[in-house]
């Protein structure tokens, strides 16, 4: 499925429940953003055209990626995106249930834009996704890749 909307988020998520919740939050955000879903890291990289020589015209404004994925992990997705000219500047937000410092460090070392722990409660989950989407899809970003870590809905920005 091609990435077609003007403002599209690529969601890479293998959990059907988390996929549904995230899509619901994106819809409720009313930010004019749609989502395309990949169910594993390999499918996500294929949709981004990372391994292809063909031009890809409709890139997402951001990638919301689970960490523990089948076939290709979220950390490896970030790494491959940063090694590719067409995807190196797309914000990649790791959205995961992990809060292990090794996972956080590995994601940032490979170029993740943000690492967000998935909340457990329904409303907190919805609010967190909306805040993340709002932050990373603002029009005035102009290709800049600020680094931040979201802790619940609050975030700290690290200029690096």
Per residue in 68-110, pLDDT (tens digit) is 999 999 999 999 999 998 899 999 999 999 888 899 999 999 9
| pLDDT recorded at residue 94 | 95
Task: Name the token pair of 79.
Answer: 């790494």
In this structure, is residue 78 part of a structural domain?
yes
125: in domain: yes
Residue 35 within a domain:
yes
Could you tell me if residue 31 is inside a domain? yes
Residue 2 lies in a domain: no
> Is residue 89 one of the residues assigned to a domain?
yes
CA atoms of 28 and 48, how far apart (whole Å): 25
Tell me which of 32 and 146 has the higher pLDDT. 32
Rounded to the nearest 5°, which phi and psi values hold at 141? Answer: -65, -35
As a whole number, mean pLDDT of residues 53-63 equals 78
Maximal CA-CA distance, the chain: 42
On whether residue 1 sits in a domain, the answer given is no
Predicted model pTM: 0.82
* 3 assigned to some structural domain: no
| pLDDT per residue as tens digits for the range 6-36 | 689 999 999 999 999 999 998 888 888 889 9
Question: What's the rounded Cα separation, in Å, for the pair 42 and 48?
Answer: 10
Question: Could you read off the pLDDT of 99-129 as tens digits, one per residue?
Answer: 888 999 999 999 999 999 999 999 999 999 9
Count of structural domains within the chain = 1
Domain assignment of residue 111, given as a range: 8-158
| CATH number (domain holding residue 119) | 3.40.50.2300
pLDDT for 5 equals 42
């Amino acid at each position: 499925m091609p990435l077609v909307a003007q403002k599209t988020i690529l969601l890479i998520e293998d959990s059907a429940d988390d996929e549904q919740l995230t899509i619901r939050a994106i819809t409720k955000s009313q930010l004019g953003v749609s989502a395309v879903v990949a169910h594993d890291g390999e499918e996500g990289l294929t949709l981004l055209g990372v391994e292809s020589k063909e031009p890809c015209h409709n890139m997402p404004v951001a990638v919301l990626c689970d960490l523990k994925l089948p076939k290709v992990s979220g950390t490896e997705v970030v790494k491959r995106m940063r090694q590719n000219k067409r995807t190196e500047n797309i914000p990649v937000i790791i959205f995961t249930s992990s809060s292990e410092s090794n996972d956080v460090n590995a994601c940032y070392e490979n170029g993740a834009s943000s690492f967000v722990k998935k909340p457990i409660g329904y409303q907190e989950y919805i609010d967190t996704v909306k805040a993340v989407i709002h932050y990373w899809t603002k029009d005035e970003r102009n290709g800049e890749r600020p680094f931040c870590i979201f802790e619940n809905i609050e975030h700290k920005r690290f200029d690096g």
